[in-house]
Chain A
Amino acid sequence: MKQAKNDIIVSLRDIFVEFDGEVILNHINLDIRDKEFVTILGPSGCGKTTTLRIIGGFLEPGSGDVYFDGEKINGLPPHKRNVNTVFQKYSLFPHLNVFENIAFGMRIKKLPKDEIKKRVKEMLAIVDLKGYEKRSVAKLSGGQQQRVAIARALVCDPKVLLLDEPLGALDLKLRKTMQWELKQIQQKTNTTFIYVTHDQEEALTMSDTVVVMNNGIIEQIGSPTDVYNEPVNAFVADFIGEANIINAVMIDDCRVRVLGEELECVDKGFGQNTPVDIVIRPEDIEVVPPEQAKLVGEVKDVVFKGVHYEMTVMCKNCEWIIHSTECSPVGSKIGMKIIPFNIQIMNKMFPHPYNQFVCEVVYADEENNSVTVTLEDSKFDIEGFCYPAGTKLKVTLPPQALSIAGDGVGDIDDVYIESVIFKGEHNEIILESDEQKWIMHSDVDEQVATYVPLKFDFSKAHIEPVEEES
């Protein structure tokens, strides 16, 4: 089967990967255009390296297809793919010198000696390592090893170069230089680069296209400006750059209510009175005298950052970050003016404002007026009323009624923390148990991608028996 578009070099179709019952990639689709610098960006454990390994041929997807240049290449071993990889730890062969490391691929292909010599020389010039042929790779600095690894991969003339966090081990200054050099090399060699990183700044600096991943799915694909200025949801907004992410209600097209104030915006099509998340970048808030703005706050903290001041402002119990070149003293009241264009409206990541589940009574304790219920193989007690065993109960819990059990004993154990996003007043945490997702508010900065025991406070719950259909 051939794919129609011919400027697409790599295409992933409905890729699903699972390890030990844990979903790593959840049916992702991705098209990568030829000669582009594409960055796959996401927190650790989001599936970005797995995606790269699937393209490289080191891992077979559980289901789904991989296309290369229009051809389906499922099951094709790495050495038969026109793709080369720069590994995270460079993985240079310690028993070979710089020249032999770079020549390795060509020696396997049994190219003539003169050509090998010529191409290694050219490659060394491109990566700026002229005269290093005879050096032992163990004696090179991190940056130099890095460049040998790139040369070793590029000399094979791949159509696509895969780079797995190649700058992770370098110090900040070297990383900046290498970012620039990588971009230069990509342009010089006219090769497609697929670059995996968790560093959002790296992604924005180098890429033509950024692919933002989280929890095994692709959240957004776009140019660096797109993902920065128009994030599709709170996760992307939070992960890329600094952002004020606030709960709001979309009253109607172009009208949004933020902290009780109605503001003008430019987004349409969210319906009426829909709860949404809004993102406002710290540099997009203009500091004006209080009487000139709808939102007024008090400066709590000011930090000088070189180019600008970073101010923490409290406005109606909600914390805002503002970047401004002028400093407002701590304690002063300021007006926060936001032009409509700078308010980005996003759909909520969690579809409801509350949690809802149905559980079954397994034991009724009439004496103490309580029941024991079962949900997802866990059992816990609900006090305050009694229903006979076998009754199904529909429980509605607000986000405030959930907490992470500090003593390690929860009502449901091993719940996965999917995202933690600061919403000005509190952290909004989305969790996932075996069968459903949960939303929770917390003042604690919980660690994403960990497993925790979840506890319910049923005094805040609304509980009713499910009517049996007859």
Chain B
Amino acid sequence: MKKLSKLYTALIIFFMYMPIIVLVIFSFNDGKTTVWKGFTLKWYADLFRDSQIMSALWNTLLVAVLASAIATVIGTMAAIGINNFSGKKRLLLQNMSNISILSPDVVTGVSLMLMFTIAGVAFHFQMGFWTVLLAHITFCTPFVVLSVLPRIRHMDYSLYEAALDLGCNQWQAFRKVVVHELMPGIFTGFLMSFTYSLDDFVITYFTRGASFQTLSIQIYTMTHQRISPKINALSALMFVVIIVLMVIINVKDRKAEKRMGE
């Protein structure tokens, strides 16, 4: 029975990850088809020479860094605000924040597009970098709230009072004590935002306007023209980055849990 369950698990993992493994393997294939012709790194080299892809990469990183940083600040403040409410009000606000995580990306994307179009007509602007950034901040913020809120709830409130008692004004007490206590949550929220921003396609697609390109959009466009193994290389790289971020988040969480346990 035990062997059977192990086999079952192995099979599930195999089927889940096989497509990605195939993709990674073929990103090293010296040929344009799905026939193995030998090992090469030329697609990776091509990738870094492709100015279109490189500008898309730059855009993606810029949006991800800015959006997750801004979302972290807003989300942390929101979490503190929500925590100050009590009872039903708090539950309501918390769920309102969670609903935007659960709502389908298409809905979020289309609604943001609509809003930006209307606002664009009213205030004379076109969708592009700024609208994508705003959209990303919008969907990243709830993730920060989600990861910071439990930390606030578990924080010993008298730590804040102790800081006030020792001569801090409210801002100093927040900066010197509260932030340190919330740090694991803030950091997890930041990394989660960063990951979601990096791999978002749908919302970006609706809010990017005519010319703004990010990596996921770039790959999508490339598949329209002709299938280039460069896509494999690019996808493999993105996958690795996401994996690394996920590992960091999990290790951090583990450590935080262990410290709490002590």
Contacts and interface: CB of A to CB of B under 8 A. Distances in A.
> Do A and B actually bind?
yes
B177 interface: yes
Given A93-B177, A108-B172, A84 B165 contact: yes
Contacts of A138: 262
B158 interface: yes
Contacts of B156: 89, 91
Interface residues of A, number: 25
B255 to A, nearest CB: 14
B91 interface: no
Nearest to A78: B164
B162 interface: yes
B161 A93 contact: no
A87 B166 contact: no
B74 interface: no
Interface in B32-81: none
A95 B259 CA distance: 12
A56 B158 CA distance: 13
B195 to A, nearest CB: 26
Contacts, number: 59
Contact residues on B (Cβ < 8 Å of other chain), bracket: 10 to 19
Interface string A10-29: 00000000000000000000
Given A108-B172, A138-B262, A77 B164 contact: yes
Given A91-B158, A91-B159, A138-B262, A85 B165 contact: yes
> Does more than half of chain B's interface fall in helix, strand or loop, or is it mixed?
helix
Contact of B168 (A56, A79, A85, A152): A79
Question: Which one of A79, A138, A153 has the highest number of Cβ atoms from chain B below 10 Å of its Cβ?
Answer: A79
A320 B34 CA distance: 98
Given A108-B167, A109-B167, A93 B162 contact: yes
Given A77-B169, A79-B169, A156-B167, A91 B262 contact: no
Given A95-B180, A138-B262, A89 B158 contact: yes
Interface string A80-94: 000111011101111
A91 B167 contact: no
A58 interface: yes
Interface string A101-122: 0001100110000000000000
Contacts of B166: 79, 84, 104-105, 108, 152-153, 156
Contact of A108 (B158, B168, B262): B168
Nearest to A81: B165
Contact of B158 (A57, A84, A87, A109): A87
Contact of A79 (B158, B159, B165, B181): B165
B51 to A, nearest CB: 46
Interface of A: 56-58, 77-79, 83-85, 87-89, 91-95, 104-105, 108-109, 138, 152-153, 156
18 contacts: A57-B164, A58-B164, A78-B161, A79-B169, A85-B162, A87-B158, A87-B161, A87-B162, A89-B156, A91-B158, A93-B163, A93-B180, A94-B181, A95-B180, A95-B181, A105-B167, A153-B165, A153-B166
